Structure 1
């Protein structure tokens, strides 16, 4: 996966019980510094916590969180740095949870040499704005 010619942020963090809160803080600070007010903090936190929980389940010693934006959408990705991914049933549950979050345009997972990647693509426009534009 390659992310080029757009704003991006990333951080590698220890795979410990504080990883979700560290990842939420990184993502929220970056998204707000880029001028986005949507998704709301709670929505970002829910998505990031699901992503991080998914890759923590792979059992690595560290994870990384990557963020990029393009065309009023945010790509949030978590990487496990562990080559043996979690069972498919855990992945299915996580993807179902991500897909149910308001503003999710797409989500998915794949395995690479450097571990499992789990990602979500989120809209940065509130749903009401899209309805207002249709009038």
Structure 2
């Protein structure tokens, strides 16, 4: 398991097996969570080249929650990461509201296209209850 340099009591224990966490959607916690994701993906037996894609896509989804979901109010996010055979699936869930671009047709960010490019499969679902981003990758089967 990865030991954080300065453990934060608000951060859950390092991810093992199935990762299900609910944390405050703040940038400092995302940085620590990113380190834990790197460790978990390594423990899940993923090749180093795939780990970079997973971490970047997942971090982008997490950062989108912090930046966009709660309109400056405090909020939380859930992260679920698991491996089933040769597939790794990561789901990021918020309870905020999706905000369309301020200018219709103007794509301000590059996060969603980046996630689509890095993940083998991705889906975005928005409802009044929040947004769910699900990403999955095919990796070598566990031996």
- The residue number in structure 2 matching 1:81 is 95
TM-score by length of 2: 0.66
Is contact 1:54-1:91 (8 Å) kept? no
Aligned mate of 1:72, from 86, 93, 98 = 86
> Cα deviations across residues 22-56 of structure 1 (Å, max 9, x unaligned)?
33223222222222234544323211221112222
Question: Which protein has the bigger helix share?
Answer: 1
Structure 2 unaligned regions, length at least 5: 1-16
Does residue 121 (structure 1) correspond to residue 136 (structure 2)? The answer is: yes
Superposed CA RMSD in Å reads 2.6
Aligned length: 116
> Deviation string for 1:47-73 (max 9, x for gaps)?
122111222211151112110112311
Provide the residue aligned with 2:115 in structure 1. Answer: 98
Task: List structure 1 runs of 4+ shifted beyond 3 angstroms.
Answer: 38-41, 88-93
